[in-house]
Chains A and B, each alone.
Chain A
């Protein structure tokens, strides 16, 4: 990863695949994103950290066009996602995979049909090939032989992993992970970290990972960006973030409440 230089502004090195330009978004009276600019280079893994409720999931949904910005733009591979018509957007999304925070498995489909959903829509694989691909993806997330289970029969962590298998099934160029390791035991969390790295290497995939799990962040990140109060307040390599001088960032990554309480109490 040393060949990818890092910098502490909001522009990625090399050719950016995803560009978020001054995006603003409000829900009713709640201003969630207040001018976010961010670029993600090809093959890079950008980790987004930030407090609960600060808008990380909202930002991720802007990147894949599930939400449209009030102002500003999102550009993917030189095409503007934020204003793209529905039909075209559906085509572009073929190149994305998204892991939802709550897994978002289809309740009425088996694990196999969940993982195969994108394959059925976008490929004409034979039933055999389909089963083989599904089995392979389930193996990668440590869920061998669970094809016929229904989502209701799975634990939270298992659902999350099926969600990951579904997102990587089509081997997309860009993967968006919303808290992929939350709710997993430490060993399984590390399996997922390894998986994120492996997907990135083997497919040269570009990844954006939202997480609270700093261990995971340090392990998978090319760069880490911190979202705070609707803005990106710092971007840098894991080392740079670890040695930050920004008190908000430093507090967050160490998980310290002490200072915050002191400042709050004056």
Chain B
């Protein structure tokens, strides 16, 4: 009992310590954007590299998210005889809920994993120490540009994913299930507001920032050896995934309340 309590307290302390370290790390990464603004020469190739690489996978997932939503939602609504509403529900999910979340999860695996592995390798081969000895601040130099790139790229790629998801959902609903095209779009326009688009974008900006910071942090924390890098990469993905899901829940709740407060 005492030992259980002891180890729980110990875990709690190390959790708080970790949170402190992560906050300080994030703080200096964000501050880096102002202190020593990353050069275009550094940030553009980075964005090309991580952005372009992710386009195929993001388009594929976007299309399937749209199509599977159509299958599920049409099925449910058909039983209630309310198929004409399907456009509104599918497209709402795509722009404000499932779309941003799934895009972010895929990008956490694709971009985040690659970043954690790259920085983890730099850590264990002492390249990060070498940067320090040459007068560069590794957080400013490595993390800030990656954080900024994620902040921009994740929402951009999410827009691609949303666009293709909307097309996928439309094709399945209208062409395959023969929902009236007119009602499909009419209901969409009736029920989806700019607000929902805005919510989706704000979420994916948060997801982008979280992926950038968490994955770089885990890379920096890598322990010696190839095994250390592998573990850092896995940890980076798991932590990003949790941050995305938990963040999404609270943001949904928050924006719901805000909406009620502002408009109802």
Contact = CB atoms under 8 A, between A and B. Distances in A.
Interface residues of A, number: 23
A61 interface: yes
B126 A104 contact: yes
B129 A61 contact: yes
Interface string B124-135: 011101111111
A122 B121 contact: no
A93 B126 contact: no
A129 to B, nearest CB: 18
Contacts of A94: 135
Contacts of B136: 90, 117, 121
Contacts of A117: 134, 136
Contacts of A93: 132-135
Interface in B110-145: 121-122, 125-127, 129-137
Given A90-B135, A122-B135, A107 B121 contact: yes
A265 to B, nearest CB: 33
A64 B132 CA distance: 10
B133 A64 contact: yes
Nearest to A176: B133
Q: Would you call the interface of chain B mostly helix, strand, loop, or mixed?
A: helix
B135 A105 contact: no
A61 B123 CA distance: 15
A88 to B, nearest CB: 12
Given A100-B126, A104-B126, A107-B127, A66 B133 contact: yes
A118 B129 contact: no
A118 B134 contact: yes
Contact of B126 (A97, A102, A118, A122): A102
B129 A66 contact: yes
Nearest to B130: A104
B52 to A, nearest CB: 17
A98 B130 contact: yes
A96 interface: yes
A61 B134 CA distance: 14
Contacts of B121: 107
Interface string A81-97: 00000100011011011
A64 B130 CA distance: 11
Question: By CB atoms of chain A within 10 A, which of B127, B131, B133 has the most?
Answer: B133
Nearest to B28: A86
A218 interface: no
Contacts of B132: 66, 90, 93
A74 B18 CA distance: 28
Nearest to A57: B126
Interface string A51-90: 0000000000100101000000000000000000010001
A97 B133 CA distance: 7
Given A105-B127, A107-B121, A121 B133 contact: no
A106 B118 CA distance: 11
Interface of A: 61, 64, 66, 86, 90-91, 93-94, 96-98, 100-102, 104-107, 117-118, 121-122, 166
Interface of B: 121-122, 125-127, 129-137
Query: Nearest 4 pairs between A and B by C-beta?
Result: A104-B126, A104-B130, A98-B133, A118-B134
16 contacts: A64-B133, A66-B132, A86-B137, A93-B133, A101-B126, A104-B126, A104-B130, A106-B130, A106-B131, A107-B121, A107-B122, A107-B125, A107-B127, A117-B134, A118-B134, A121-B136
